Chain A
Amino acid sequence: MARRRHRLTRRELGAAALAFVCGVSERASAFGEEGAFNPRLLITGTRELERRRRSAPGRWALEVVRRTSAPARLSPSTVRADAPELFAEPFAVWAGAKAPEPLTQREVTGLRRFLALGGILFVDDLEPSDGSFVKGAKEQIARVLPDGSPIAIGEDNVVFRSFYLLRKATGRVQKESKLEAIVRGGMAQVLFSSNDLLGALARDPGGVHPFEPSPGGEAQREQAIRLAVNLAMFVLCSNYKDDQVHAPFLMRRRGSEAP
């Protein structure tokens, strides 16, 4: 049965978010937030995330809580690449607008141990028109994982069907329709986005988005949020949606989707 697509307005989103904050915080505090999704910002060198995008990780967590059954930390933390806290959780987001400073040896060692334990690193370029951050990040990651080189991943990858069925990657801009990933042991472990995903997620306390997605506007923002949710579910469930039991359902749905 066909259903009318429902698009949420900013105001509706804000109201829903508030409702879920209350509900979720109660549930999470009952057992701590230890296993909850936490999009921690990775700090390297002296650079920190620019102010307007600092709300993005919180929004990311909120959307995960709102849309899925997964718990998430609504006030994500930051973590330094050379700090022992990096090993506290298996996910971190490394974002920047300019080429990153070269990693120190302690940072290289920390990231190497983080990835060796099975951690997942999401690298987001906040200035895709320049592209220098992703380029520089790849060079630095090559020091961490000398035997890993990024490959493009698209809708065939489990990241694109871990919750929503997505056809392409997106963000504040639509530069690349695919993500890139360093795949180890059959799993994407370092993911590169060239579309400024955090920019699409960012929202100030008043509910105003500081960045307008281009060229798709709010529809593109929704797709970016869905990609963020998928990334979170990929982190929490790994390749769950690759299980054979899901295959016939997903094939049917992919087949029924409009091209």
Chain B
Amino acid sequence: MNESWAFSGDLARGWLWVGLALAVASVVLLAVELFVRRTTEKPSLTVGATGLLAVVLLMLAVLRPVRVFERASTVGARLVVLADASRSIDLPADGNERRRAVANRALGALRQRFSGVRVRQFGFGRGEPLPFDGKDVPSQPLLGSDLSAALEGLAQGTDELPQAVVVVSDGRLDRPQAVALEAALHTALGRLDVPVHTVSLARAEPRDAAIRAVRLAGSVVAHQAARLEVEVGCSGGLSCGEVAVTAKELHLDEPPVVHASGVVRVADGLGTAALELTLDRAGRRILEVSLASPEGDAIPENNRRFVTVDVARDRVRLLHVAGRPSYDVRSLRTWLKSDASVDVVAFFILRTRTDDVVALQEELALIPFPVDELFTKHLQSFDAVVLQDFDAEPYGLSIHLRRLAAYVRQGGGLIMVGGPNAFVSGNYAQTPLADVLPVSLRGITSEQAVDPASFVPAFTRAGHRAPVLEPMSTIVGERWPEVQGTNVVGDAREGATVLLEHPSRRTPSGAPMPVLALGEYGSGRTIALTTDGSHLLQFSPFASESGGRAHGAFWDAMLGWLMRDPRFEPASVMLPQGCIAGTPTTLTLRARFAEDGAEADVDIQRLGSGEQVKHVRVAFPRGDAPAPVDVGVLEAGGYSATVRLSGSGRTAPSRHDFACEAGGEEWADPRPDPARLAAIAKATGGVAVTADDVASLPLPRATRVVAERRIEAWVPPWVWTALAAFAMGAHWLARRRSGLA
């Protein structure tokens, strides 16, 4: 137990100084008084001594000194080790080792060096650092390598601040950047004014050719040429010269489509090629950009990048083909033309071969239906095709149905609207397009193809919940007007969603006949509406109750769903930690309108082959909490996650395409950057060492921790007061005797 003394702690430091100042002033005044009086009388030593004693005792009465007894110990300093946990530490280090192995070795050496120090280990990637207790860096790599964010996390945390930070990394960091590094570090450290020591994991550049960066100039708009910059880097003395690069778009079950290729001339280890490509389908697209690997390339994984491109849509470009004009055609056209976001190209068959126009051709305002041109040359330029009451046979569409099916499979949208010349009556049964539709046309003869009876379509359970019918339902409720006649169709296809059904007709399987069905086919989406009565939402006694607004709401949602508008997706999928090939991947699933106990089927398919690599069934937690979906370990490539909510009726699936990269951004530039680590150490007063030189790092000062503390007064406070009063009285008597007032 150590003993020391101190003044009583109940007096604020300010008052202490005020008291001392008054005491000093009193002594000075007394001295002045005695000095002035010396010319007339001999100075009185008694007056001076008693005065000084009185001041001192008065001060002691105020300050009341105490004895302090303490039991204290010295503990090691707190030190934080920030280990780079990004994907880049799986790259080669100097020699035959991987940087991960070097990092693990360095961590062991650090533990040895700082054995008397309280060491806390964190892995850093993107965002706040994550603590780990093991001897090695966590095997699951983190996205990014943001040291600034990790330092900010330490400085702003509620834990005890460390006396020093040791960073173990290869120096290939997202932040702080080499430019304005010092200012960036001080901003990140904030109140954490401690040295940052660095341990470099590698110094030698690997012999490697890599796609360093893939950049898109501005936003990518469907049908408009976009500029893709591909930066290629060569390091470690690898001679690259000219390198061929290719950009392909991945589709679900189609071979990749090459959009652009070029040659990069590499000079001084770096070269760039600008490729021009035009993507026709809006939405999330996965591009594979690759380079032809030069001989001696040590890291072939970074020769290929998978880039997720969100292709915007200037306007939805839509082909509207109608077999004959009718009020249904009129309503749909009027709505399409009134929507500024839709660029509609329309072709209506106004005259058949049997119609007698009683006029010469030049007296007619009719133009030939350019079916071949539309469905060959221009088809890919449309985001969606509407076939409304259109017979494929007489107008030459039949020979293009295979192409139309391929167009949908590659991401195009298709809506087939009913009428006397649609579905089976329109000669689509047993054609390639029949497989695309969300309803089966099998086993329906042309005599059975149409049911003329009036009916009121009924909402299915999925229809009640579907976001795509919600806009219409908010206007007219979950009702549909009575319509005359329907095309007869079979069961909904596997994976399709029926939103409206016939109240009495049954399919051969006994299920209610679909009236409105939504489906996915390859990368595209399809809608089948078996009546020609949607115009009754716009113009009818039923529609007049709501000013005809339900028609626009219905078609806006249909087109929105077809174009994958997030508003109409029943579920959304996110990848909070991205996807790194070879390591476990977790998706986050969030559902709209999910009932308690709702579940979802998640299918992961590989783009290109369409192969299903994983099927997971997940249950949603209560409330709005998202559901994590463990999809396991994936190889590098593009993937599609299709989510189908179940529970009370199947809803239309939601699809989310994503890319999984072997190294991604972290492997794009495999060169270590020890210079940046040295600059970080220098800027913070730390020391930069290699993994073999950890022993030379300075030890931080130990911290003294008081375990017990006891305070005792030297004498009771009243003693000081009494002594001070006595001394003041003696001083007063001395002054009287010496003739002072």
Contact = CB atoms under 8 A, between A and B. Distances in A.
A50 interface: no
Contacts of A245: 345-347, 367
Nearest to A7: B358
B345 A163 contact: no
Interface string A34-48: 111100000000000
A71 B326 contact: yes
B359 interface: yes
Interface stretch (A126-134, A172-180, A198-206, A233-241): A233-241
A229 B544 CA distance: 28
B637 interface: no
A178 B413 CA distance: 43
Interface in A43-90: 66-71, 84-85, 87-90
Interface string B540-582: 1101100110000000000000000000000000000000000
B325 interface: yes
Give the one of A5, A6, A35 with max B CB within 10 A.
A35
Given A35-B327, A243-B345, A87 B543 contact: yes
B330 A236 contact: yes
A113 B546 CA distance: 11
Interface residues of B, number: 54
Contact of A69 (B352, B365, B533, B541): B352
A31 B324 CA distance: 13
Interface stretch (A98-106, A115-123, A143-151): A115-123
Contacts of B354: 23
Given A164-B359, A243-B345, A29 B547 contact: no
A3 B361 contact: yes
Interface in A154-210: 161-165, 185
A2 B189 CA distance: 88
A11 interface: no
Interface in A224-259: 225-226, 233, 235-241, 243, 245-246, 249-250, 253, 256-257
Contacts of A256: 362
A253 B450 contact: no
B330 A253 contact: no
Contact of B362 (A27, A37, A236, A257): A257
A238 B326 contact: no
A255 B355 CA distance: 26
Given A29-B452, A34-B483, A117-B538, A67 B334 contact: no
A118 B543 CA distance: 11
A238 B544 contact: no
A3 B419 CA distance: 35
Given A89-B327, A90-B330, A235-B330, A163 B364 contact: yes
B705 interface: no
B490 interface: no
Given A68-B351, A246-B367, A236 B329 contact: yes
Contacts of A233: 325, 350
B484 interface: yes
Given A3-B360, A30-B450, A118-B334, A249 B533 contact: no
B452 A31 contact: yes
Given A32-B485, A119-B539, A236 B327 contact: yes
Contact of A87 (B350, B355, B544): B544
A233 B349 CA distance: 11
**In this complex, which of B326, B363, B540 has the most chain A Cβ atoms within 10 angstroms of its Cβ?**
B326
Contacts of A69: 323-325, 349-352, 355
A222 interface: yes
Contacts of A30: 420, 450, 452, 485
Contacts of A16: 356
A90 B548 CA distance: 12
A118 B325 contact: no
A6 B541 CA distance: 44
Interface string B452-476: 1010000000000000000000000
Contact of A35 (B357, B365, B532): B532
Nearest to B532: A35
B171 to A, nearest CB: 59
A67 B355 contact: yes
Nearest to A6: B358
A33 interface: yes
B548 A118 contact: yes
Contacts, number: 160
A71 B324 contact: yes
B328 interface: yes
Contacts of A90: 327, 330, 539
A68 B354 CA distance: 9
Nearest to B481: A34
A23 B355 CA distance: 11
A113 to B, nearest CB: 6
Contacts of B328: 35
A8 interface: yes
Contacts of B334: 118, 238
Contact of B325 (A32, A119, A236, A239): A236
Nearest to A32: B484
Contacts of B547: 116-117
B375 interface: no
B536 interface: yes
A66 B355 CA distance: 6
A193 to B, nearest CB: 20
A240 B327 contact: no
B365 A241 contact: yes
Contacts of A239: 337
Interface in B273-320: none
Nearest to B533: A34
Interface in B328-382: 328-330, 333-334, 337-338, 345-352, 354-367
A253 B363 CA distance: 8
Contacts of B731: none
B329 A118 contact: no
B100 interface: no
Nearest to B360: A3
A21 B36 CA distance: 141
A250 B352 contact: no
Given A31-B450, A35-B326, A69-B323, A238 B337 contact: yes
A164 B408 CA distance: 36
Contacts of B543: 87, 117
Interface string B160-199: 0000000000000000000000000000000000000000
Closest A-B pairs by Cβ, 6 of them: A32-B484, A35-B326, A236-B325, A31-B485, A35-B327, A161-B365
20 contacts: A5-B360, A8-B358, A31-B420, A31-B485, A34-B327, A34-B483, A34-B484, A36-B327, A69-B323, A69-B352, A70-B350, A84-B541, A117-B543, A163-B364, A164-B365, A236-B330, A238-B330, A238-B337, A240-B346, A250-B367
Given A31-B532, A117-B543, A240-B346, 10 more contacts: A34-B483, A34-B484, A71-B324, A87-B540, A117-B544, A164-B363, A165-B363, A233-B325, A237-B329, A246-B367
